[in-house]
Each structure stands twice: as structure tokens, then as C-alpha cells.
Amino acid sequence: MAVTLIMINSFAQLKYPVTKKVDQTDNYFGTLVADPYRWLENDNSDETKAWVKEENAVTNAYLNQIPFREGFKKRIETVSNYAKYSSPQKKGEWFYFYKNDGLQNQSVLYRQKGLEGTPEIVIDPNKLSPDGTTRLIGFVLNKNGHYAAWGISKGGSDWQTYFIRDMQTGKDLADEIDWVKVSGIAWQGDGFYYSRYPPTEKGKELSTKNENHQVWFHVVGTNQIDDKLIFEDKSNPQHFNTVGTSDDERFVYLSISDRGKGFDGNALWYLDNKSVDKIFKPIVKEAGKYLYNVIDNVGDRIFIETNDGAQNSKLIAVDAGKTDAKYWKTIIPEKAEPLQGVGSVGGKLFVTYLKDVTSRIYVYDYSGKQTGEVKLPALGNAGGFGGEKEDAFTFYTFSTFNFPPTIYKYDVASGKSTVFQKPQLSFDPADYTVDQVFYESSDKTKIPMFIVAKKGMQKNGKNPTILYGYGGFNISSTPAFSASLIPWLDQGGIYAVANLRGGSEYGEKWHEAGMKLKKQNVFDDFIAAGEYLIAQKYTSHNYLALRGGSNGGLLVGAVINQRPDLAKVAIPQVGVMDMLRFQKFTIGWNWIADYGSSDKADEFKALYAYSPLHNIKAGVQYPATLITTADHDDRVVPAHSFKYAATLQEKNAGKNPTLIRIDTNSGHGASNTAKNIETTADIYSFILYNMGVTPKF
């Protein structure tokens, strides 16, 4: 282990900015709840901006005096500096793909004629803003590849603006489509469907509650003010309304979700362009608890992935004109493992299942007969398998913690995979090990966990360890490669990922076990993971750090309230910290389906019991805590972290620092490569510094 112990200096005796309190109390079903830092919710006020500036000054001064901070940054840059490619997407004679030369802030979109052609730049988002924080977030070609709709987001915001490019001339048209959010681009003929919100008040774009999601149709070469409104439902302003079209452009699919009312599923309507009336008709009339995701169609037959009557999901076929559920036909029945997704290419269906958090891919024909299996090189995560029905081959990407993303070309007829693109690294991934263990949570439920370390790691209780978790929204924490993890592992660090309930690792039952009134299971699973790592001598309290982002930031905040003794360091990132008011900002109401709402008495009681903001106790010594957020996070607004930081600074006892790192021109995730590297280096440095460990570079 390349570490030595150091004494943490007296800088831990920090002087935080004085955060004023206001007299604000809310009554929830007879329970009075104080909210003295409510004023920090106004992200545009001069007072809030001044507070942010003062907090960042304290945080930057602390981080600047860590002697190895710059060493971590340089090392992360070194190991990350290799060419990264996306799988090619075929359109006619062209193959489109993304490439990052190594440390470019944004990946560049290229195309080439044939697999042996000379690449040419289509869009370089690095040239769209001086600081490289404008991202290319969508590029969708129409059926013949003549036009492309391409979208950008600025500074990490979820708001999107779309433009139209003539791919024959390489020139953009005058079209500009604004206020797009939670949307796909669905081409039909000379135009496309998209979803947007009405414009918000100037200056409040990043915090205003988003309501009345609308579907519009834009014709190429026209002004947005001339777009046709296709669908809206003002009586249900918290619906998501999105549209897709079939590859043959015969069908238009309208998906309607009602998560603001606590439903996890969606309604599904369709319009048949071959019909006389050309109006939307229901396959599933109203949103409820089940999901319906259109995969493909063959003539009149529409193939849909659903968990209706199948907790682990199945594939069904619905005939246009006979959409009543009694006519539905199961094509691929539910299995013991959860179905993660279905791709279609070359006249085949590629069905991905998750077995103990690793991918299994099987090939089926459209009658539901299994015709093969895609053999993967190791236990890990694979994705791709898309294209046209007439394509003879497709691409997929495979990776795991110690296997960098490698692109494979898959021949549909023979079922053979060959390496198409393999990254050239400055280190050997074989120097690192990945183990999967299963530990018991407080109720004896077996929870899987991945443990990543450098070969030769000794179980001596002194390995600096980052325990990462998420546990929510039916999202799996699958094995993924990250070069920025290598410097941590090289310094004797361990990285552990716990597959907590609330995710989709074992299907809908796993998800439901961590939702709403059962959310405490997620925290118990995470606490048990930390206790397992300590009991098995991977690490100990003094060398354990807890990390999570978004819903995972909530996780870390809740766990250190319940078990402040568990870990030495806590890194809650862009967390949902105020569980009583999250639904009042941007699309926070969308999370009611997973969390519940403080507007309901029983759900308020559960939320109040674990809300990170409301369960900080005075006089408790909390772990050294680095809270991270960003000024353009309009998904989990930074007010969550602002109020949480002010409260923790007020009540925390002892010498452990409580700092908040507020990035600029960044959003729910880092808006460019440089910011991501800087944030990672700061987190590693903060963790080791507070563990009393100095790395050697």
C-alpha cells in the first residue's frame, strides 16, 4: 500500500459563514416543522449569491492546503488521457460515432462512409462555448438520413435547444426549437415530434416547477411559432407526455406517465397513419403501476415490453385495431431474472437480462423462439444491439470495473462477435481485481456488492475504502469501468458498490422493497454494507468513506444521521436533502412515485423520519463531510444542498469539517471533462486527508 499516515492540521477548526435564520414554520398534519434557511431556495437573490461565494471561499481554502490535491488531479488526467469511442450507428452508407481524443471536454461527433472510410467531423461541441460546458445531448437522423435534429444543453442544465442540419450540405437551417425537456425526437416525413414546457419566467428557469408538458410537431424549414400542438392535458399538469414513431413511420406512439400522482407506469396510445381517421387510440388508456415500452413493429404487430402481469417483465405483441388486453399475446414470457431491455436489428430481437447484476443477452426471432446467446468475455455489463431490419451486423459495448469499454461487432447470421475497437491504456486493467460478495441486511435479505481493489490488497482493516450506493428509481448499479478510479486503487484504496434495494437488480420486487414507506430498507442495506466491510477487515471506521449522488446523496445524508459512527468521511453529491419540499421545484414532483409526498399524512411521517435535512441533531459528531452541488443543477436544485450544509454546519459537534463545494456552469453531473476530473480529485483528496493518509505519486 503506497500510503503513509499524517496528522491532520488545525485547519479543521473552520470558521463557516454566518448563515442567517428566518422565522419560517410549516404545519404538516399537526406537526410543526421549522425551515429557518428557506431563503436559500431563492438561487437568484443577492443574499444567496453572497452566501455561495463565502462558502466556496472556505471550501477552496481548505482544499488548497491539501498537499496532494494537485497530484491526484494530474494522475487522473494521465490515466484518463486515451481515445474513447462510442459504438457506430449506421444510416445508409454512413456510420456515425462519437470520439473523445482523451481529455477533450466534450466528445466529438464524426461520420465516415463505410467501416474503412475517412472520418469527418459532424459536430464538435467543444467549439460551442469558451469553457466547453455546452453539451451535445441529441443527434437524431430522419429516415433517409437527409436531415438531423441535434440538441444542446448549456452549463449542465436539463433545458435543451434543438437545431436542424442538412446532412447533404453540412449546413444548419434557420430552425431553432427551445424549452425542450424530457423529450425524444421522433421523425415523420419532413418533420418531427418533440416535447416541451411553456416558457418560464426569466431568471427562474433553473428552479421553477415544470408543469404542462406538451407534444408538438415541427416541420423542417419553419419557425417554432408555427409548430403544431399535438397533445397537452392541462387538467393533469404533472404528466410527462412523450412521442415515438415506428421505424417504418406508420405508427405514432404517445406515452403518458403520471408520476406526480405516485404512479410508476404509463398509458400508451397509438396513431395508425394507414387508418382513415388518423387519431390516437388507446392500447393502455390510463397510467397506473405498469410500464409499456414499444420495441418494434412488424406490419400490424406492435411489440411491447411490459411488467403488466410480470414483475420481471416480458415481451408481448399487440395487433393494431385489436388492442384490447384480451387479444395481447405473450412472445417472450417472464423469466426468473429481470428483463433489462430489448433491442432489434437484422430481423432479430436481442433481449438483455440481469443475473446477479451482470448482463446476459439472448437472441430471439419475432415469434419468441430463442435462436442464440451472445457470449460475453466476462461478467460485466453490455449494451447496444440496435439497427435496421435489413442490417447484417450490429455493434455492442462491453465493460466491467477492470475491463474498459470495448466495442464488438456482432454478425447476425453467424452469431459471432469480434473486437471492433479496443482502448489503448497507459495501465494494465489486469492489475486490478473485482469480487462479488453477498451480505445480510438487517432483515436477513441477501444484498450483492462488488469490491474492486488492486491485486495484493491485504485485509488488515486499514485500506481507505469508498462505499458507493444509489438504491432507487428502479435503477441498477451495474459494473462500469472508470479510469478515474485507477489513482484511488493505486494508492491502496478499495472501491465497493452495494446493490441496494430500490434498484432493479432483481426486478420490480427489489424496486418496491426500497420505495415510499419501505425506503428505510435502502438505508439499512447501506449500513449493513459498511458493517460487512469492517467486519471482514477490508477497512475500518477510520478508513471508510460513504459516497452517493442524487438519490444516492439522499442515501448518504440519511445514513450519517442514523449512524454517524459508521464512517470517517461522507460525500453526499447533488442530493435530495429536503424530503418535505422536493416536489415544489422543477420536475421534483416526478419523484413522488418513488418517495411518496409530504402532502399525504402517512407518507409525510415516513419522509420526515429520514429526511437528511430534518434529522441532523445538535451535539453529534458527524463524519468529515464534503457536499457537492452546482449552480445549473435544475434536476435536484442546489437549494437542497444549501439548506443541508447550513444546518449541518450549525449543529455538527467536534472537529470534522463540513464543507460545500458549489460548481459553476455545471449541472446534475459535471458539464465537461475538466470539471469531472477536478471534482474527483477534490473528493479523493478530501477523503484521504481526513483519514490521515498521504498518497505517494
pLDDT at 13: 66
Q: Is residue 456 part of a domain?
A: yes
Q: Answer yes or no: is pLDDT of 624 > 90.
A: yes
Q: What span, in angstroms and rounded, lies between the C-alpha atoms of 75 and 491?
A: 11
Task: Answer yes or no: is 470 within a domain.
Answer: yes
The confidence score (pLDDT) of residue 220 equals 98
Average pLDDT score, the chain: 95
CB atoms within 10 A of CB 599: 12
Residue 250: the pLDDT is 97
Give pLDDT tens digits for 334-364: 999 999 999 999 999 999 999 999 999 999 9
CA distance 463 to 626: 20
Whether 46 is covered by a domain: the verdict is yes
Cβ atoms < 10 Å from Cβ of 171: 9
Active site residue 550: yes
Q: What is the percent of the chain where pLDDT is above 90?
A: 94
The single-letter DSSP state of residue 509 is H
Please count the structural domains in the chain.
1
pLDDT in tens, 287-309: 999 999 999 999 999 999 999 99
Residue pair 295/349 in contact by the 8 Å Cβ criterion = yes
DSSP state of 239: -
Q: Is 145's pLDDT higher than 70?
A: yes
Does residue 264 carry a pLDDT above 90?
no
User: Does 12 have pLDDT greater than 50?
Assistant: no
Q: Which of 129, 239, 668, 671 is catalytic?
A: 668
Q: What is the CATH number of the domain that holds 612?
A: 3.40.50.1820
Q: Has residue 654 been placed in a domain?
A: yes
> Within a domain: residue 371?
no
Q: Is the pLDDT of residue 5 over 80?
A: no
pLDDT above 80 (res 11): no
Is residue 597 classed exposed, middle or buried when 0-12, 13-18 and 19+ CB atoms within 10 A define those classes? buried
Task: Identify the pLDDT of residue 261.
Answer: 83
* Residue 127, pLDDT above cutoff 50: yes
Q: Confidence class of residue 259 from pLDDT cuts 50, 70 and 90?
A: confident
Q: What would the mean pLDDT of 34-56 be, rounded to a whole number?
A: 96
**Within a domain: 542:** yes
Of the residues 107, 153, 477, 550, which is catalytic? 550
User: Helices 673-691 & 46-64, crossing angle to 10 degrees?
Assistant: 60
In the predicted structure, residue 434 carries a pLDDT above the cut 80? yes
Q: When comparing pLDDT for 1 and 82, which is higher?
A: 82
pLDDT band at 4 (very low <50, low <70, confident <90, very high): very low
**Grid cell at residue 5:** 499516515
Q: What is the mean pLDDT of residues 403-425?
A: 97
Does the structure show a pLDDT above 50 at 22?
A: yes
Of 126-135, 259-268, 453-462, the one with minimum mean pLDDT is 259-268
Burial environment of residue 173 by CB neighbours within 10 A (0 to 12, 13 to 18, 19 or more) = middle
Query: What is the value of pTM for the model shown?
Result: 0.94
> Measuring CA to CA, how many Å separate 692 from each of 4, 282, 464, 546?
8, 62, 10, 16
What's the rounded mean pLDDT across residues 523-546?
A: 98
Residue at 376 is within a domain: no
Q: Which helix (H) or strand (E) holds 411?
A: strand 403-411
pLDDT > 90? residue 642 = yes
Q: How far, in Å, CA of 308 to CA of 323, rounded?
A: 15
Q: What is the pLDDT at residue 10?
A: 38
For residue 549, count other CB atoms closer than 10 A to its CB: 21
Q: What is the pLDDT of residues 227-251, one digit of tens each?
A: 999 999 999 999 999 999 999 999 9
* Residue 380 and residue 403 in contact, taking contact as beta carbons nearer than 8 Å: yes
Span 96-124, pLDDT tens digits: 999 999 999 999 999 999 999 999 999 99
- Give me the pLDDT at residue 120, please: 97
Range of the domain at 436: 3-78+427-695
Residue 591 is predicted with a pLDDT of 96
| Residue 402 confidence (pLDDT) | 95
- Give the model's confidence band at 9: pLDDT under 50 very low, under 70 low, under 90 confident, else very high: very low
| Cα–Cα dist 519/609, whole Å | 10
User: Is 458 a member of any domain?
Assistant: yes
What mean pLDDT is predicted for residues 311-322?
A: 96
- Mean pLDDT over residues 590-605, rounded? 96
Q: Provide the phi-psi class of 156: left if phi over 0, else alpha when psi is between -120 and 50, else beta.
A: left
Please state, for a pLDDT cut of 70, what percent of the chain lies above it.
98
Query: Cell numbers 415541427 label which residue?
Result: 218
Active site residue 239: no
| Rounded-to-integer distance, Cα 121 and Cα 99, Å | 10
- Arithmetic mean of pLDDT, 646-668: 94
